[in-house]
């Protein structure tokens, strides 16, 4: 199947009443494990790459890799720019064939956040691509970027932010954190308040480590997308780490890469199933 347009994927989520996972990839093995997981579960979702990761592989390499890896896959998958940090990244990703974009200007003052998102929305909508924006700041570690900022989304800003930016999805900060080993305490009353105000569906970042029952509880509050990064990265790294611990002379990269794909696929299947159990 071709990479699916982000608006179509949002319609699919609404039609099937799903919370769609967005799995971050970094390399071929993560990509293959994610796509196999979607295929095996027969459900769609996002494959995402963080802006910071584009320093390692440019958007065209990522889009080509995803496109060719999902040829055999018949579930809808959108290719998403995660935490887009610059307008240049946004344009490069659209040019490369990404079908969903996040602009993360949440570290900027509110008026600048609005201006950055608005600019990207005008550009992306021209190409028929939806835009996710973040209001409030999520702390923790995302790839090589560490953020100490931790500002919960202020419900008072939600309606004007959505209206003025024209964004299509809203990432919220409600106690969720990036990274694996921080224990998040989701503020459900705040999430509910935001959901009642927001005219667009919500996104939860920092999925790794959040107990699945909490993600399912959040689903009731117009949650359409939940992001997973560290969880799969650990599954990948663990494969190589354990093999090395067992045998310091291990050099069978091909077998370990296959094992890593299988281990990532298992995590993907578990997450897809767990976030949507009713
Ligand atoms: O944008 C990506 C995510 O929010 C990933 O967060 O590494 O805590 O799963 P995580
Ligand atoms: Zn994130």
Concatenated DSSP letters for 167-197? -SEEEE-SS--BSSSS-----HHHHHHHHHH
Which residues contact residue 73 at a Cβ distance below 8 angstroms, ignoring those fewer than 6 apart? 1, 35, 38, 39
State the Cα–Cα distance between residues 158 and 52, nearest whole angstrom: 27
Would you say the C-alpha torsion 225, 204, 145, 210 has a positive or negative sign? negative
State the Cα–Cα distance between residues 48 and 84, nearest whole angstrom: 11
Tokens of 221: 């509050």
Ligand 1 shell residues, CB under 6 Å: 24, 82-83, 142, 178-179, 205-208, 227-231
Q: Looking at the CA of 207, which ligand is closest?
A: 1
Beta bridge pairs of residue 140:
147, 178
Q: Looking at the CA of 48, which ligand is closest?
A: 1
Q: What ligand 1 atom has the least distance to the C-alpha of 140?
A: 8
**Phi and psi dihedrals of 115, rounded to 5?**
-65, -45
Find the catalytic residue in 64, 82, 144, 231.
82
The tens-digit pLDDT sequence of the chain (278 residues) is: 999 999 999 999 999 999 999 999 999 999 999 999 999 999 999 999 999 999 888 999 999 999 999 998 999 999 999 999 999 999 999 999 999 999 999 999 999 999 999 999 999 999 999 999 999 988 776 555 556 566 899 999 999 999 999 999 999 999 999 998 667 789 999 999 999 999 999 999 999 999 999 999 999 999 999 999 999 999 999 999 999 999 999 999 999 999 999 999 999 999 999 998 86
104 included as an active-site residue: no
**Dist. CA 39 → ligand 2 center (Å):** 24
What is the structure's pLDDT at 221?
97
**Phi and psi dihedrals of 127, rounded to 5?**
-95, 5
Pairing of strands 169-172, 131-135: parallel
**Range 6-275 classified under CATH 3.40.50.261:** no
**Dist. CA 173 → ligand 1 center (Å):** 12
Pocket test for ligand 1, best of 230, 231, 232, 267 (most atoms within 8 A of CB): 230
**Dist. CA 275 → ligand 2 center (Å):** 17
Q: What ligand 1 atom has the least distance to the C-alpha of 177?
A: 8
Domain boundaries, the chain: 6-275
In this prediction the pTM is: 0.96
**Dist. CA 252 → ligand 2 center (Å):** 33
What is the structure's pLDDT at 98?
98
Q: What ligand 1 atom has the least distance to the C-alpha of 178?
A: 8
Could you tell me which of 187, 185, 90 has the C-alpha nearest to residue 132? 90
Pocket test for ligand 1, best of 180, 223, 229 (most atoms within 8 A of CB): 229
Distance of CA 139 to the CA centre of its chain: 16
What is the structure's pLDDT at 182?
65
Q: Looking at the CA of 206, which ligand is closest?
A: 1
């Amino acid at each position: 199947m071709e990479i699916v347009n982000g608006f179509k994927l949002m319609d699919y989520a609404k039609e099937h009443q799903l919370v769609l996972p967005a799995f971050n990839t970094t390399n071929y093995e993560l990509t293959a494990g994610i796509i196999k997981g979607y295929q095996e579960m027969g459900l769609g979702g996002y494959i995402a790459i963080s802006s910071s990761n584009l320093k390692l592989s440019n958007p065209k390499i990522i889009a080509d890799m995803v496109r060719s890896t999902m040829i055999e896959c018949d579930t809808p998958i959108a290719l998403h720019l995660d935490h887009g940090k610059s307008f240049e990244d946004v344009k490069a990703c659209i040019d490369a064939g990404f079908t969903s974009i996040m602009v993360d200007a949440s570290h900027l003052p509110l008026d600048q956040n609005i201006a950055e998102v608005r600019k990207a929305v005008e550009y992306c909508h021209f190409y028929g691509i939806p835009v996710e924006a973040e209001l409030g700041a999520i702390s923790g570690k995302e790839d090589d970027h560490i953020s100490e900022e931790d500002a919960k989304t202020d419900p008072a800003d939600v309606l004007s932010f959505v209206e003025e930016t024209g964004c299509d999805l809203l990432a919220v900060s409600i106690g969720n954190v990036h990274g694996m080993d921080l224990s998040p305490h989701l503020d459900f009353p705040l999430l509910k308040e935001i959901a009642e105000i927001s005219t667009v569906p919500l996104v939860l970042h920092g999925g790794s480590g959040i107990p699945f029952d909490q993600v399912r509880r959040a689903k009731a509050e117009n949650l359409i997308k939940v992001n997973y990064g560290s969880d799969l990265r650990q599954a990948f790294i663990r494969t190589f780490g354990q093999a090395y611990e067992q045998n310091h002379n291990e050099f069978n990269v091909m077998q370990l890469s296959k094992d890593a794909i299988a281990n990532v696929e298992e995590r993907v299947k578990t997450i897809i199933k767990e976030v949507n159990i009713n």
